[in-house]
Amino acid sequence: DQQVKQNSPSLSVQEGRISILNCDYTNSMFDYFLWYKKYPAEGPTFLISISSIKDKNEDGRFTVFLNKSAKHLSLHIVPSQPGDSAVYFCAASARNTGKLIFGQGTTLQVKP
């Protein structure tokens, strides 16, 4: 049972445009959400997080939006840069269990 889903395996955007990566979850107990960036054969790098008490969090070019009623979150990267090309994972955790569950990942390619 995949509790955190990233339904788009890949995304390609032009440099300077907006990248929007999506993530859905099924467990209503999740109350903290994170986005990570990963290169092959390396550990993921934390990008940005959001608590369930908020609906938006911004950090530089990265903004995460949370829609609790739809159990959906998204990561916006603007403007996109070629160095942003990587695999992006969303993750969710629940304070009462301590689990941290990841989605399958979306490969982002930013073309110059």
Partner 1 sequence: DGGITQSPKYLFRKEGQNVTLSCEQNLNHDAMYWYRQDPGQGLRLIYYSQIVNDFQKGDIAEGYSVSREKKESFPLTVTSAQKNPTAFYLCASSLFTNTEAFFGQGTRLTVV
Cα distance between residue 6 and residue 88, in whole Å: 9
What's the closest the beta carbon of residue 63 comes to partner 1, in angstroms?
Answer: 17
Q: Does 20 bind partner 1 (CB under 8 A)?
A: no
Pick between residue 10 and residue 12 the one whose CB is nearest to partner 1: 10
16: left (phi over 0), alpha (psi -120 to 50) or beta: left
What amino acid is encoded at 100 in this protein?
A: L
Query: 3-class DSSP state for residue 84?
Result: helix
Q: Does 73 bind partner 1 (CB under 8 A)?
A: no
- The dihedrals phi and psi of 82, each to the nearest 5 degrees, come to -55, -30
**5 with 70: CB under 8 angstroms?**
no
What's the closest the beta carbon of residue 104 comes to partner 1, in angstroms?
Answer: 4
| Interface residue with partner 1, options 14, 45, 67, 81 (CB under 8 A) | 45
Q: Does 101 bind partner 1 (CB under 8 A)?
A: yes
Binding residues for partner 1, per CB under 8 A?
A: 6, 31-32, 34, 36, 41-46, 49, 51, 89, 91, 93, 95, 98-105
